[in-house]
């Protein structure tokens, strides 16, 4: 009998994310997750004592905590490229979106919002302008992802060019921030 790799918080969360990406949030159950890990469901509780609650928190952290990386570019270029990869991340793991919206794990969005605000502060915006700018940008990113996900899971795909639409909206928001600041 070959020895199985031991369980770990990391391996559990990755398996769970794989399950959600492939089959949707509704099919993530402790029992099914145990099956894919080749372990009894109850073994998971040894690594995640708070159970499914903690599992979902871990999923959000894994997907949505993604601060703006340091760079020598100006604020606009930094936010433009970061927003693109953040959008990709949200779309790729669209099953996690409902969790991001609900009360669970406020840390993820708070941290991201703080990171955007910092970039705008460094660019010389006032506290107030950085605050409403970060709020508007993050709002747009979440709202866009929600709309794109809804549309993509739709039957009568009207053939919307989501890349173009995303960029157009993002440009609108960045312009507005630039003009205000």
Interface contacts to its own copies, rule CB under 8 A: 25, 97-103, 106, 109-110, 113, 128, 131-133, 135-136, 138-144, 146-147, 149-151, 153-154, 165, 168-169, 172-173, 175-177, 179-180
- Work out what residue 97 binds among DNA, its own copies, none; the CB cut-off runs from 5 to 8 Å by kind: its own copies
Phi, psi of 137 (to 5 degrees): -65, -50
Interface contacts to DNA, rule CB under 7 A: 6-7, 28-32, 34, 39-43, 45-47, 51-53
CB of 1 to its own copies, least distance (A): 41
Phi, psi of 39 (to 5 degrees): -155, 155
Q: Which of 6/159 has CB closer to DNA?
A: 6
CB of 128 to its own copies, least distance (A): 8
Q: Which of 71/106 has CB closer to its own copies?
A: 106
Q: Which of 35/118 has CB closer to DNA?
A: 35
H/E element, 44: helix 44-47
Q: Which of 8/153 has CB closer to its own copies?
A: 153
CB of 127 to DNA, least distance (A): 40
Whether 105 and 99 have beta carbons less than 8 Å apart is answered as yes
Residue in the block written with tokens 């006032």 = 126
- Work out what residue 36 binds among its own copies, DNA, none; the CB cut-off runs from 5 to 8 Å by kind: none
Helices 75-92 and 107-122: angle between axes, nearest 10 degrees: 160
* DSSP letter string, 59-111: HHHHHH--PPPP-SS-HHHHHHHHHHHHHHHHHHTGGGHHHHHSSS-THHHHH
């Amino acid at each position: 009998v070959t020895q199985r790799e031991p369980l770990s918080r990391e391996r559990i969360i990755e398996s769970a994310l794989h399950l959600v990406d492939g089959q949707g949030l509704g099919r993530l159950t402790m029992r099914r997750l145990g099956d894919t890990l080749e372990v009894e469901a109850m073994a998971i509780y040894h690594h995640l004592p708070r159970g499914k609650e903690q599992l979902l928190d871990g999923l959000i952290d894994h997907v949505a905590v993604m601060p703006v990386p340091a760079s020598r570019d100006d604020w606009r270029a930094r936010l433009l490229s970061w927003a693109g990869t953040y959008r990709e991340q949200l779309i790729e793991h669209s099953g996690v979106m409902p969790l991001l919206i609900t009360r669970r794990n406020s840390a993820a969005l708070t941290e991201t919002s703080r990171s955007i605000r910092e970039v705008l502060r460094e660019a010389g915006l006032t506290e107030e302008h950085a605050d409403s700018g970060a709020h508007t940008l993050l709002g747009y990113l979440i709202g866009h992802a929600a709309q794109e996900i809804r549309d993509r899971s739709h039957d009568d795909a009207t053939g919307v060019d989501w890349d173009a639409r995303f960029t157009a909206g993002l440009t609108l928001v960045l312009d507005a921030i630039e003009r205000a600041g």
